[in-house]
Structure 1
Amino acid sequence: MDEDADGQWYAVRCVFHNEAGAPVVYEERITIWRAGSLDEAIALAEAEAVEYTDGISFTYSGLAQAFHLFDEPGHGAEVYSLMRDSDLPPDEYLTRFLDTGDERQGAAG
């Protein structure tokens, strides 16, 4: 679908990995797409994922998760949401899934 054509906006998270060293480095990218369906947005994102890895040492893992944007992309718009059920309390949940200590990130402020 042409990005200027009528369609819905979708955010798609694709996961990549680089096994060139130890430990393996994983990257999660979220891209946004205007498409006629969730399946079409995933197909567009997966095609871009293959292009993204061309010439670099990362490989597309084959995992794509999509989210239908409820609002037009813009300041403060929600662009991705993933819900997961867990019996873990909040601190343990964050450590298990989001803040293991191995992330390549800096502190804000």
Structure 2
Amino acid sequence: MAAVDAAAEKSWYAVRCVFQWVAWEGAPYEERLTLWWADSMEQAIARAEGEARTYARENGHRCLGLAQCYRLATDGRPDDGDEVFSLLRDSTLGQEAYLDRYFDTGRERQGRDDD
């Protein structure tokens, strides 16, 4: 009996795509994560890229063509506290400089204001 390839089983995948909001002042960038129930990482990326093109077109944004995928380490549907994305990056920067460079430049628009 052949061994079952775990990667070939259907799983949840999170895919991060990057956009530029060209019609907005300053043309800010958006990193957007979407979840996909797929047979493989390749299938999840293909589906996410299709959705990303539609999202960009319908909202007047530019899709920058970057798709990073992460297979969720969950046995079923995602639940509270499940990790949905992880990215490792090598850097010689210290902790504060690293956060300032990649996550806390002071120009982020975080949260959502529905008022």
Fold agreement, TM-score > 0.5: yes
Per the alignment, residue 79 of structure 2 pairs with 74
When normalised by structure 2's length, the TM-score is 0.81
Per the alignment, residue 3 of structure 1 pairs with none
When normalised by structure 1's length, the TM-score is 0.86
Identity level (%): 50
RMSD: 1.4
Structure 2, unaligned runs of 5 or more: 1-8
Structure 1, unaligned runs of 5 or more: 1-5
Choose 1 or 2 for highest CA Rg. 2
Q: For residues 30 and 82 of structure 2, what CA distance do their matches in structure 1 show?
A: 23
Q: For residues 21 and 54 of structure 1, what CA distance do their matches in structure 2 show?
A: 15
Establish whether residue 29 from structure 1 lines up as the match of residue 24 from structure 2: no
Q: CA deviation at 1:22?
A: 4.5
Once the two structures are superposed, the pairs formed by residues 30-69 of structure 1 within 5 Å of their partners are 30-69=33-72
Compare 29-38 and 97-106 and name the one that shifted more.
97-106
- Runs in 1 of length 4+ with deviation above 3 angstroms? none
Amino acid at match of 2:31: E
Q: How many equivalent residue pairs?
A: 101
Task: Select the structure that is richer in helix.
Answer: 2
